[in-house]
Amino acid sequence: MSTPGGDIGPPPPSGFNLSTIGPDPDGATPLEEEDLVGLIPAFVATRGDLNIVEFDNITKALPWALDRARVGGAEAVLEYSFLFELHRRMFGDVWKWAGTQRRRVTNIGVEPAQIVTVTKQALDDAVWWHRQDVFDVDERAARIHGRLVAVHPFPNGNGRCTRLLADLYLTAVGHPIFTWGAGGRLNEEGDVRRRYVEALRAADGDDYRPLVAFARA
């Protein structure tokens, strides 16, 4: 796994900056100038360009992730090192900081100094739920996502990474993956994202019913 604090390369292309990518969706972690320094593709100039290259990278990572879930089983996908490797593979062609821990305070998430401890606790709890058959399977998967996205361990891409982790857990135990709002675009403003954010806020209060209902829409 990559480690934070290293050389993240030259500044981003001049055509890509905070003004060209437009506003972030409600509830998303805003990209900062320091994040943009880690951009890899030189042609990215707009939010649309960024969405395309990130989607392609995530698609490329899926076969590896699904194979790990099917072969390694539930506890393999709930390992701390797997979470960071998953993020690296999902975004490593786009961002040099992919798979590294968040180092700045963001609008969502724990203090950076708490990330390791709280992330490991969330994953350890998930392993215990799995072993002891606590909650039904859908709620376990929703709790995995809700707990980890609340930690926000990465500079960006936390929602996408932890939603995929929840789906990989479902795959590992032989259950259908979530629909996450029946195919709506969660990275864009609209009714689907609004319901998703409302469900996450309910989960912050330990009411996971809206998140399970949304995810299994």
The answer as to whether 8 is a domain residue is no
Structure-token pair, residue 5: 């604090």
Task: Please report the pLDDT score of residue 47 as a whole number.
Answer: 87
More confident call, 64 vs 48: 64
Could you tell me if residue 33 is inside a domain?
A: yes
Of the candidates 28, 26, 29, 32, the residue with the CA atom closest to the CA atom of residue 12: 32
Domain total of the chain: 1
pTM of the prediction? 0.89
Whether the predicted pLDDT of 186 surpasses 90: no
Within-domain flag for 132? yes
The pLDDT tens digits of the residues spanning 126-185 come to 999 999 999 999 999 999 999 999 999 999 999 999 999 999 999 999 999 999 998 677
- Which residue range forms the structural domain that includes residue 132? 18-215
Average pLDDT, stretch 71-90?
A: 98
Bridge partner list, 39: 95
**Phi and psi at residue 95, to the nearest 5°:** -125, 135
In a domain, 3, yes or no: no
Q: What is the mean pLDDT of residues 187-208?
A: 93
CB atoms within 10 A of CB 171: 20
Q: Pick the closest to residue 200 from 149, 140, 166 (CA basis).
A: 149
Q: Inform me whether the pLDDT recorded for 200 exceeds 70.
A: yes
Residue 172 in any domain: the answer is yes
The pLDDT assigned to 33 comes to 85
Q: Is residue 6 part of a domain?
A: no
Cα(166)–Cα(38) distance, integer angstroms? 27
∠53-57-59 over CA atoms, to 5°?
115
15 near 45, Cβ under 8 Å? yes
In a domain, 175, yes or no: yes
Please give the residue that has the higher pLDDT: either 202 or 24: 202
142 neighbors 214 (Cβ within 8 angstroms):
no
Quote the CA–CA distance of 135 and 103 in Å, as a whole number: 33
pLDDT at residue 8, rounded to an integer: 41
The mean pLDDT of the chain is 90
Side-chain-side CA neighbours of residue 184 (13 Å): 17
For residue 23, the model assigns a pLDDT of: 64
Is 1 part of any domain?
no
Q: Give the Cα separation of 69 and 67 in Å (integer).
A: 5
Catalytic positions: 152
- Residue 200: give its domain's CATH number: 1.10.3290.10
pLDDT of residue 20: 67
Alpha helices in 41-180 (DSSP H): 47-72, 74-77, 80-91, 115-132, 137-151, 158-172
Q: How does pLDDT run across 5-29, given as a tens digit for each residue?
A: 334 444 444 456 766 666 666 667 7
pLDDT digits (tens, 9 = 90+) for 84-130: 999 999 999 999 999 999 999 998 999 999 999 999 999 999 999 99
The three-state secondary structure class of 167 is: helix
